[in-house]
Amino acid sequence: MSSVNTAIQLITREQAESAARSKTAATCSPALAKGPWEYDLAEALAGAPAYGPGASSADVAPAATPRQGQLPEEYKLAGDAELDVRIRAAKEKLGDRAVVLGHFYQRDEVIQYADFVGDSFQLANAALTRPDAEAIIFCGVHFMAETADILSTPEQAVILPNLAAGCSMADMADTDSVEECWEQLEEIFGSEKDDAGRVPVIPVTYMNSSAALKAFCGRNGGIVCTSSNAKVVLEWAFERGQRVLFFPDQHLGRNTAKAMGVPLEQMPMWNPRKELGGNDEQTLLDSRVILWHGFCSVHKRFNVGQIEKARAEFPGVNVIVHPECPMEVVDAADSAGSTDFIKKAIAAATEP
């Protein structure tokens, strides 16, 4: 935890001071600096599931969210040096029988043991290169492990070390809500193809979604996209459909479609808690992309003011953001791209 404790404490201190000035509640809790087992146990004892350390306090986990079991006392009491010896000994003993996948967002203490590092799609593909591995240990969140499990062989076991590791954005689009939305859209659009042979609507889900929603897209002629191929996927969908239902991340859908020339007025939001998603029939009929009311709680916290401050403090700075950020942030940045895109841009930078 040493590499993140200071950062967390600074963040929570800054937010506490800001909250005192603005009379608003802080977003993160100082409890995030605790070990995962302590944090998860506190949530479990409180009777409410949570996403674990690092999550926004505004992210309410669904009641069905899995909860992490307690680690044996010997692991909780062991120091970093002892844990390092144990982990390396286990990896040496297991050899090719186990492969460890580490997501870009993991802390350094975890990444140092990963056999492959990447985003969710890259890691799922990396697992395919190890058909000899009996165990695929995925240091990520639920939807990532599910994706790896879909692509793995029946003989392989995919293990998620922390069952409480979830993604609030993925949980914002549940199967029942999407199915209900689809039924309402079918009532409005019908099922007849237009003169160009395009169906009324095609479902597109972001990789950051449950396996159930990926299956939903498959059943209904849809497709799965990543942050790096979203434009190509939308082009594919527009060739086959008059419009797209994009979930769960509104920002990736909006930013990608806008860059392709789709007017904002043709991108209505679908709120599953409102009748017709909060729209009227004509708005939906005129739409090109119907955006699900979902977002990443972390990327949503970036704003234009932060970019302006960075430009003022570091003249000539190159600002790169992820397309999960709000449209205003993407517009204010110099470029936007996937985590791998950002990583490569930093590696290629000629100035510090």
Give the start-to-end residue ranges of the domains of the chain. 1-68, 78-166, 171-292, 299-348
Q: Tell me, yes or no, if the two domains 78-166 and 299-348 fold the same way.
A: yes
Q: pLDDT by residue (tens digit) across 321-332?
A: 999 999 999 999
Which residues are bridge partners to 205 per DSSP? 224, 247
Enter the tokens of residue 23.
Answer: 């009379």
pLDDT in tens, the chain (352 residues): 444 444 434 444 444 444 444 443 445 555 555 665 565 555 555 655 666 555 555 666 666 666 666 778 888 888 999 999 999 999 999 999 999 999 998 989 999 999 999 988 889 889 999 999 999 999 999 999 999 999 899 999 999 998 878 888 999 999 999 999 999 999 999 999 999 999 999 999 999 999 999 999 999 999 999 998 999 999 999 999 999 999 999 999 999 999 999 999 999 999 999 999 999 999 999 999 999 999 998 899 899 999 999 999 999 999 999 999 999 999 999 999 999 899 999 999 887 6
Distance separating alpha carbons of residues 43 and 52, to the nearest angstrom: 8
Would you list the DSSP string of 178-207?
A: HHHHHHHHHHHH-S---TT--BS-EEEEES
User: 323 in helix, strand or coil?
Assistant: coil
CA dist 336 → 70, 140, 209, 213, 340 (Å): 40, 23, 21, 26, 11
Query: What is residue 120's predicted lDDT score, i.e. its pLDDT?
Result: 85
Pairing label, strands 157-159, 135-139: parallel
Query: What is residue 12's predicted lDDT score, i.e. its pLDDT?
Result: 43
Query: What is residue 156's predicted lDDT score, i.e. its pLDDT?
Result: 95
CA dist 270 → 158, 183, 260, 286 (Å): 34, 13, 21, 14
Which class is domain 171-292?
alpha beta
Query: What is residue 77's predicted lDDT score, i.e. its pLDDT?
Result: 86
Domain 78-166 part of CATH 3.40.50.10800? yes
Query: What is residue 280's predicted lDDT score, i.e. its pLDDT?
Result: 97
Which class is domain 299-348?
alpha beta
Query: What is residue 38's predicted lDDT score, i.e. its pLDDT?
Result: 62
How many contiguous H segments (helices) and E segments (strands) does the chain have? 16, 11
